[in-house]
A and B are shown apart, each in its own frame.
Chain A
């Protein structure tokens, strides 16, 4: 079972920031938080991941609370092409074993003009 809780759906106005929350209250010390998205039945796309520090890349920012029990993915200027299902996943990373991703139901983000 997925170890994260996300809202089922959210709306965002085009050009505004989209803030997608995720609760992972049972996260372990060696588990990372990963975000993926799936645009209309395409293959999931990696967005960002982090352990405890906030992270930023060309796609998004990830804010992780100090107790690591929750996080927020921020798309700073949402466009219509950001309409997708966003998945928050916790996973152990490291070593040669890799580690499977367990997808929950995700948040369906609709960016509206």
Chain B
């Protein structure tokens, strides 16, 4: 039973390019969460998605960032026109549908984005 898969593990982009980060949740999980961790800082919630729906995007920057979780395929976090301040580790977590009282989230290993 594979865990949450994130790819790529490391991504280098020049300023102004686009970054696409992918997250495949655990089998049977339909809830996906994205977090960002800036160097030497804590984890910050970005967005919560269910299949084909954004449930909570209160932590997403208003510009250049978008997320989707299509009916088929992985969840994608997209950052347009990257700047140096976007350099961070981006973590994805998933959880199963229904009551989450008996579950913690399962996190992936993260994507380290470096903007040069």
Which residues of A are at the interface with B, using a C-beta cutoff of 8 A?
32, 34, 36, 38, 41-47, 49, 51, 87, 93-106
Contacts and interface: CB of A to CB of B under 8 A. Distances in A.
A100 B98 contact: no
Contacts of B56: 100
Contacts, number: 66
Interface in B53-107: 55-56, 59, 89, 91, 93, 95, 97-101, 104-107
Contacts of B99: 93-95
B12 interface: no
A97 B50 CA distance: 9
Interface residues of chain A: helix, strand, loop or mixed (majority): loop
Given A93-B101, A96-B97, A96-B98, A43 B42 contact: no
